[in-house]
Amino acid sequence: MSVGPLVITYKLTERSRAIVAEELRGAAQVIYLPDLPPEQRADALRRAGAVLANDTGQELRPGESALLGRARLLQFTAAGIDWVPTRDLPPELPVAGNKGASAEPMAEHVVAMALAAAKRLFIEHDKLKQGEFNQRGPNRMLRGGVCGILGFGAVGVATARLLRPFGMKIHAVNRRGASDEPTDWIGTTEQLDELLRASDVLVISTALTTATEGLIGARELGLMKEDAALINVARGEIVDEAALYAHLTAHPRFFACIDAWWVEPVRHQRFEMSHPFLDLPNVIGSPHNSAGGGVWRDVSLRRAIANCRRALLGETPDNLIGSDERMM
């Protein structure tokens, strides 16, 4: 039986369309759903061998998701798809996130935040603006410390590879408690407390699932070192917002570097905080831009298309999500 087309549900530039053709290498016809007249959309979706989407909740019309039952894969461009309605998709439809597609720029972002916290760059910058030349103020070395990584997938591994040359030991937690990537210690999520106690820098790079939502609360923060730094490049909801704010105000030597917020424009159509984190000197914020942009979008697209090609050729695609990741 001939394979159906790759149906792409959102608009792409000519540059991106060229990348699609290059990565697909003739494995299937490509149909761009926004280019079709309304009466042809249903037929294209029924025939789809694979589907590439940003947000099916916005890009598919009512009833269209039910037409995807024959597709070998629904591939999303984002790494985490907890904010996309996936529970109502055909149960037999394999669904994949683009996990690890932006691992390299995210790892660089983590290192930048870790260094900024350790060297108190923003605190001292603000003091200089006020005329205070705090040359003798203490800062920290990353060398000799422990980087704890919660979620040792592609982003965690890329982070470890950058921080290990700084002289940091790598401790990690994942579901298996094992990895092909070298670590100084690795455990399962049941051993999270050990990771928290040891970490000088804690990097949160795990997926938001029913198990990880609210995983880091007041008890967990209380296990960490007084001067540790927590860096979240995953999802805000993994950390209890109120508990983190209370911990930061009570422990001024503790840093939070927040790239992933609790209410964000892409997922919630607005940005807001329940607590004034950005008024605290021991908080470094960024607008969830750790995944990079510019030419890196090309790399991310290539990785998504490569996974579609695997499915179209009858191979097992990577990064399939489980039921615990279907939050909506």
Nearest-angstrom CA–CA distance, 142 and 195: 17
The residues spanned by each domain of the chain are 6-100+295-325, 103-285
- Specify the CATH superfamily of domain 103-285: NAD(P)-binding Rossmann-like Domain (3.40.50.720)
Verify whether residue 241 is a known catalytic residue. Answer: no
- Residues in CB range of 281: below 8 A, 6 or more apart: 122, 123, 126, 252
pLDDT single digits (tens) 190-212: 999 999 999 999 999 999 999 99
Give the other-Cβ count within 10 Å of 194's Cβ.
15
Tell me which of 59, 124, 181, 264 is the catalytic residue. 264
Verify whether residue 253 is a known catalytic residue. Answer: no
Verify whether residue 161 is a known catalytic residue. Answer: no
User: Does the fold of domain 103-285 match that of domain 6-100+295-325?
Assistant: yes
Pairing of strands 95-96, 169-173: unpaired
Residue 326: what pLDDT? 67
Tell me which of 109, 140, 171, 235 is the catalytic residue. 235
- CATH classification (class only), 6-100+295-325: alpha beta
Provide block-wise average pLDDT over 10 residues at a time, the chain (328 residues).
Answer: 89 97 96 97 97 94 94 94 83 93 95 98 96 94 98 96 98 96 97 98 95 97 98 98 98 98 94 97 97 84 97 95 70
pLDDT single digits (tens) 93-104: 999 999 989 999
Torsion of CA 181, 231, 236, 263, to 10 degrees: -130
CA-based end-to-end distance of the chain: 34
Phi first, then psi, for residue 134 (nearest 5°) are: -90, 60
Tell me which of 140, 171, 288, 309 is the catalytic residue. 288
